[in-house]
Copies of this chain bind each other. A is one copy, B any other.
Amino acid sequence: MVRRTRFNDSDCPVARSVDAIGDWWSLLIVRDAFDGSRRFGEFQRGLGVAKNILAARLRALVDGGVLDVVPASDGSAYNEYVLTPKGRDLFNVIVALRQWGEAHFFAPEEPHSEIVDRRDERPLRALEVRSADGRRLGPDDAVVKKVAPPAAAHTPS
C-alpha cells in the first residue's frame, strides 16, 4: 500500500511531498488537525468523508510520519491523532494554499473562514519567498538546480 514513486521524477522534493501526503483528503485532514481536530469522529464530521476513506488516510498519514496515534487525552480509552513535528512543518503549505484560495476564489463580500493571528485576531501577512540575503523573489527570480551528492561514493569511474 505504500506505493513507491507514484511519479517518475522522485528526486524532486515537490514530487516526494506530494507522494507523501497522498491525496487531497489527507491534506484536509492535516488542515483540520491544525485546527484542533484530534479524534476520528471529529475528522469525520469536519470533512464529511466516508469512514473507510478516512481510516485509510489516517493510517497512511501515520505511516508517513505526519500524524501520531496517541492513546488518550481525556481519559477515555480511544485514540487520538496528533501532528508530528514533520506534520507541523506542513503549516507553510496549508497557509500558502489558504492564502491562494482567499485571493482567488472568494468574492470580497463572500463569507469564508480566515486564518488570523491568535493574539490580535488580525489576518496574517502574505507569505513571501525570499533569497538568502532577504530580497523578495518572484517566480522568475528562482531556478531549479540539480544538486549532486557533494562528496559521496558514487559509481566508480
A51 in the interface (beta carbon within 8 A): no
A121's nearest neighbour on chain B, judged by CB, is: B145
Contact A113 B17 (CB under 8 A): no
- Residues on B with beta carbons closer than 8 Å to the beta carbon of A139: 34, 83, 88, 91
A119 partner residues in chain B, CB cutoff 8 A = 131, 141
A89 at interface by CB-CB < 8 Å: yes
- Please tell me if the beta carbons of A93 and B96 are within 8 angstroms of each other in the complex: yes
Pick the contact of A20 from B16, B105, B151 — CB < 8 Å?
Answer: B105
Identical subunits present: 2
Number of residues of chain A lying within 8 A (CB) of chain B = 88
Q: Which residue of B lies closest to A131 (CB)?
A: B117
A31 at the interface (CB under 8 A from B): yes
Q: Given contacts A14-B27, A93-B96, could you give 20 more A-B pairs where the C-beta distance is less than 8 Å? A: A7-B48, A9-B47, A11-B113, A13-B114, A14-B31, A17-B97, A18-B28, A93-B93, A93-B100, A109-B152, A115-B145, A117-B131, A117-B135, A118-B140, A120-B132, A120-B133, A121-B145, A125-B132, A127-B128, A127-B129
